Amino acid sequence: MKLMKQEQANVGKLTVMPAATPNFLVFDALGASARTGCATLYEVNMASGHCSRCAVSEQLKIPCRHILAVIFRLASENNT
């Protein structure tokens, strides 16, 4: 649960942009490239639940912060 809470804590710091359905682009300045000041681009496919360049969801069997950021954005759009 600690890892899941860490992933959730970073969701608000990510930028999510829709791409070709069902894909989203997520800009993450928190990853390894944060030391260089560059954001890393992740592609999230919501149909398959796959996040490119991120092994968290596959290895730990929990949604990574990039997938969580897309879910949060979709939920907030549905509430407005």
What is the rounded CA–CA span in Å between residue 64 and residue 55? 8
Closest Cα to residue 11, out of 77, 63, 47, 80? 63
In this predicted structure, what is the pLDDT of residue 65? 93
Handedness of CA 51, 71, 49, 57 (dihedral sign): positive
Distances (CA, A) of 69 to 8, 36: 8, 23
Give 34-52 as a DSSP string.
Answer: GGGT-PEEEEEETTTTEET
In this predicted structure, what is the pLDDT of residue 31? 65
Residue pLDDT tens, the chain, 80 long: 787 888 888 888 899 999 999 999 999 987 655 566 688 999 999 999 999 988 888 888 889 999 999 999 999 988 87
In this predicted structure, what is the pLDDT of residue 58? 85
For 24, the 3-state DSSP assignment is strand
In this predicted structure, what is the pLDDT of residue 32? 56
Q: What pTM did the predictor assign? A: 0.83
